[in-house]
Amino acid sequence: MRSIELEQYLHEHIPLSKAMALAVVSVDEEAVVLRAPLAPNINHSETVFGGSATALATLAAWSLPFVRLRAAAVANRLVIQRNTVEYLRPIPGEFTARSRLETPESWHRFATALTRKGLARITVLALLEHGGETAGRFSGEFVAFRV
Amino acid sequence: MRSIELEQYLHEHIPLSKAMALAVVSVDEEAVVLRAPLAPNINHSETVFGGSATALATLAAWSLPFVRLRAAAVANRLVIQRNTVEYLRPIPGEFTARSRLETPESWHRFATALTRKGLARITVLALLEHGGETAGRFSGEFVAFRV
């Protein structure tokens, strides 16, 4: 799935991503990188609203198993079960969320369980960044069901 | 602070709250209740996007110390440091987030530390509800600075 395809998918199916002016920077097997500007995501302190930061990280994290399962042509429904976010510093401008699997080897276990049992869980991390610095850390547990 | 004042404040200072069509249901010393409809917060499964659910819970939780400190006329900057969210079931329609302090007695410690040391932390919980059922649980740690 190319960046533009993922961006169109997110804007079409998750209207909040469009309200956030989310852009897909890059997509590959290792990472999905999303970007959003400050203006639609600003808060009362003129920095990024925590809810926007979490939403961008959630979408970066969700998109990684989503694009990999799509590439593998495994029909599924993929939903978030739990997440934790640490906000390390205020974000006074454009920001990105860069996802990766918690452990690269977890993919094989996840894909096998999904195929054999119809249900599998995986943990995906996302780093929030601004101006080359880490601004926050997201960890999310996702569950996929065969459909 | 009345509900309509908090709603205006959120819509004006946090534009994402307006994009979510957030409404303030009630505000008092014990709880802030916020509501949002499905349409602007929908996801690919036609249920509420996890990022929207977390954003509503974050705002319900943040608003509780915000309105109490404002009532006490304590000038401050209040920001989120960390949160955890459990998504218990999909939300197929309008939803609410209802906040409360983790422990009622934490307020006195928080307000005293903020006045004496200029810095204080407090944990605020929020329940996500749909159709009378709990759909998710949010726990957030906030820090306030005297300004």
Q: Indicate the pLDDT class of residue A30, thresholds 50, 70 and 90.
A: very high
CA-to-CA separations, B42 to A11, A72, B45, B46, B49, in angstroms, rounded: 11, 26, 8, 6, 5
The closest of A56, A132, A69, A135 to A99, measured between CA atoms, is A56
Query: How far is Cα A27 from Cα A98, in angstroms, rounded to an integer?
Result: 10
Residue of B nearest to A19 (CA): B19
Residue of A nearest to B88 (CA): A81
Q: Looking at residue A70, what is its pLDDT?
A: 94
**Tokens read off for B57:** 């819970």
Three-state DSSP class for residue A53: helix
Q: Residue A131 sits in a domain of what CATH number?
A: 3.10.129.10
CA angle at B64 for the pair A42 and B55, rounded to the nearest 5°: 40
- pLDDT tens digits along A46-91: 999 999 999 999 999 999 999 999 999 989 999 999 999 999 999 9
- Could B19 and A19 be called an inter-chain contact, meaning their C-beta atoms sit closer than 8 Å? yes
User: Are A58 and A138 a contacting pair, CB within 8 Å?
Assistant: yes
**Tokens read off for B53:** 């659910």
Query: Model ipTM?
Result: 0.96
- pLDDT tens digits along A115-132: 999 999 999 999 999 999
- Using an 8 Å CB-CB cutoff, list residues of chain B that contact chain A: 9, 13-16, 19-20, 39-45, 49-52, 54-56, 58-59, 62, 77, 79-87, 90
- Structural domain range at position B56: 3-146
Number of domains composing chain A: 1
pTM of the predicted protein model? 0.97
What is the DSSP-derived secondary structure letter of residue A117?
H
**Tokens 């939300």 correspond to what residue?**
B91
- Could B40 and A90 be called an inter-chain contact, meaning their C-beta atoms sit closer than 8 Å? no
Stretch A5-30: mean pLDDT:
97
CA angle at A18 for the pair A14 and A22, rounded to the nearest 5°: 105
The closest of B7, B18, B138 to B80, measured between CA atoms, is B138
- Could B52 and A55 be called an inter-chain contact, meaning their C-beta atoms sit closer than 8 Å? yes
Residues making up chain B, counted from first to last: 147
Q: Looking at residue A129, what is its pLDDT?
A: 98
Residue of B nearest to A43 (CA): B14
Q: Looking at residue B29, what is its pLDDT?
A: 92
Q: Which residues, including other chains, have CB under 8 Å from residue A135's CB and lie 6 or more apart?
A: A53, A87, A88, A89, A90, A91, A95, A128, A129
Q: How many angstroms separate the CA of residue A89 from the nearest CA in chain B?
A: 9
Query: How far is Cα A70 from Cα A110, in angstroms, rounded to an integer?
Result: 14
Stretch A42-48: mean pLDDT:
95
Query: How far is Cα B140 from Cα B128, in angstroms, rounded to an integer?
Result: 13
Query: How far is Cα B110 from Cα A127, in angstroms, rounded to an integer?
Result: 30
Residue of B nearest to A141 (CA): B86
Using a CB-CB distance cutoff of 8 angstroms, which residues of chain A are in contact with residue B42? 13-15
Q: Looking at residue A25, what is its pLDDT?
A: 98
User: Are B60 and B32 a contacting pair, CB within 8 Å?
Assistant: yes
Q: Which residues of chain B have pLDDT under 50?
A: none
